[in-house]
Amino acid sequence: MSELQQNRGRGFQTLKTKKRELRGLLGAIHLGVFLILLASFFIQFSAAKSRIRGMALITAQHRFEKDLEYRLWAASHGGFYVPVTEETQANPYLDQVEERDIETPSGKKLTLMNPAYMSRQVYEITAKKGIISNHITSLNPIRPENKADEWETAALNSFRDSVEEVYSLISLNDKTYFRFMKPLFVEEACLKCHAQQGYSSGQIRGGISLLMPYDSFQKIESRTILTLLPWHIALLVLIVGLVQFFEMKIVRALVVSENSLSSTLEKEKELNIALIKAEESDKLKSAFLANMSHEIRTPLNAIMGFSDLLEDVSIQQDEKKTYLKLIQDNGDNLLNIINDILDISLIEAGQFVTDKSLFDIKHLLESIHLEYSKHLEIKDIRDIKLQLDVTPTQSIVQSDQQRIRQIISNLIENAIKYTGNCVISFGYSWENEASIRIFVRDTGQGIPPEQLTNIFKVFRRLEKGPSDPRRGAGLGLSLVKNLSEALGGEVSVESELGHGTKFTVILPVDS
């Protein structure tokens, strides 16, 4: 076997190994992403359920404290007298109390109402409304109807072990209820009615048992699912799409290498170059996924966090407007990242379509100038000035207006992000009768010469390291280059450290 055939065989074997490794790696990435997002969903949903149950607990605690205050007020006055009616008869459990029943000089009959009697009548009113069901209970009740059930008996026994309160979710008649109980302690004022039972001040003589419908809180849980699920699904689809995108690029590189091996030994060099590019793409994919996980997760976490805060009924209207503005800003940021990825994917796949029409490029640049001037004003960025430099009288051209706006906007946004305390100017001039020259120039810090060759590559960012606060997805300048070439033009850059940077785009147009 000749050396050529041996080298070719080794090359094909290497490609097969790379394909197997690629399939294994992609399978592991898909599975890992799915499991991470699934875990994220359940963790966030469990945390939300805990918060919602906490809301129910606070509601029950508030109800208990309010009832306790009314009871303490009534007990501190030794009870109070009310007219005898058909619904309010003399309390048979107060026979031992002197002056249980009295009569006014006008002959109106009154009877003494103690805290327990008062609470029972109030609880009967709320029970009829179906809002909440309360009642007083005890292991040693004066009134037989107040005898504790099995759940309440267990709660009362736990109070003897210094448990402060007991609560749980129960199912009753195919509905979910939040059940809550807290102990009642004997006060001095309580002994008027309960001394005969042998109680002394400070002892636990029973508790208030509360049964609250949980359906309103379940609706909040349902809304939480409707909020969490779409974002997790969208993130899953996005990441899987990105992985497929990189798979396509790597496979394409491997196929090119296979075809190269089938010809001559000299093309083995091309195979090595293609493999290096494939490995570089793989490294870029890993770096990109790590970066994109931050870029996507940051606005997504903000959206989720402020959405949860909006459910808090105690938040003022001004705070809600602030949270809604933050949700909108982060949503726009997330949408811009996704749109940039989709545009690059369309261009890479050869499916990019231009939409050319006649338009006034001077008016377009004026519109962009107004938009970003407002942006700098809203963001309170005072150290950057934006200038429009337009002199040509002829301004009607035929090209893709939306894509030209996208090119200029990306260049301006890049200048704003990577400069400070500078002037950004932009405009256009006629290169010749069939093409125009668009420029975006800043007086910022400039770009290091070693980075100029890489700034138009996809997923490359101008930053000093992972601690550099100027975060970005590394898509803007790559998209500018791809859009310029898709419109039949080209883009170039000139930069000098300490003196600024100038981007120039030359595009063919019909005047």
C-beta atoms surrounding 473 within 10 Å = 19
| Residue among 355, 353, 354, 356 nearest 509 (CA) | 356
More confident residue, 468 or 202: 202
Is the pLDDT score of 266 beyond 80?
no
What number of helices (H) and strands (E) belong to the chain? 11, 14
More confident residue, 65 or 205: 65
Is the pLDDT score of 290 beyond 80?
no
Q: What is the mean pLDDT of residues 395-419?
A: 90
- At 390 the pLDDT is 87
Residue 267: helix, strand or coil by DSSP? helix
Distance CA 279, CA 6 (A): 24
Is the pLDDT score of 277 beyond 90?
no
Cα-to-chain-centroid distance, residue 316: 21
- At 503 the pLDDT is 95
Q: Which of 54-63, 370-379, 488-497 has the highest mean pLDDT?
A: 488-497
Distances (CA, A) of 225 to 16, 22, 240, 323, 335: 44, 35, 22, 20, 22
Q: What is the mean pLDDT of residues 223-234?
A: 78
- At 292 the pLDDT is 60
- At 500 the pLDDT is 92
Confidence band (pLDDT; 50, 70, 90) for 244?
A: confident
More confident residue, 331 or 418: 418
For 113, the enclosing helix (H) or strand (E) is strand 109-113
> What average pLDDT does the chain have?
79
**φ/ψ (deg, to 5) at 367:** -65, -40
- At 302 the pLDDT is 64
- At 473 the pLDDT is 59
More confident residue, 85 or 266: 85
- At 369 the pLDDT is 93
Q: Which two structure tokens, joined as six digits, stand for 355?
A: 């939409």
Q: What is the mean pLDDT of residues 315-324?
A: 74
Sign of CA dihedral 364, 366, 370, 372: positive
Phi-psi region of 320 (alpha: psi -120 to 50; beta: other; left: phi over 0): alpha
Residue 112: helix, strand or coil by DSSP? strand
Any idea of the CA torsion for 137, 141, 147, 150, to the nearest 10 degrees? Answer: 70
More confident residue, 114 or 168: 168
Confidence band (pLDDT; 50, 70, 90) for 286?
A: low
Task: Mean pLDDT check: name the lowest of 82-96, 243-257, 285-299, 427-441.
Answer: 285-299
- At 173 the pLDDT is 83
- At 469 the pLDDT is 45
Is the pLDDT score of 313 beyond 70?
no
**φ/ψ (deg, to 5) at 449:** -55, -35
DSSP state of 145: G
- At 470 the pLDDT is 46
Percentage above 90 pLDDT, the chain: 17
Distance CA 250, CA 279 (A): 8
Is the pLDDT score of 8 beyond 60?
no
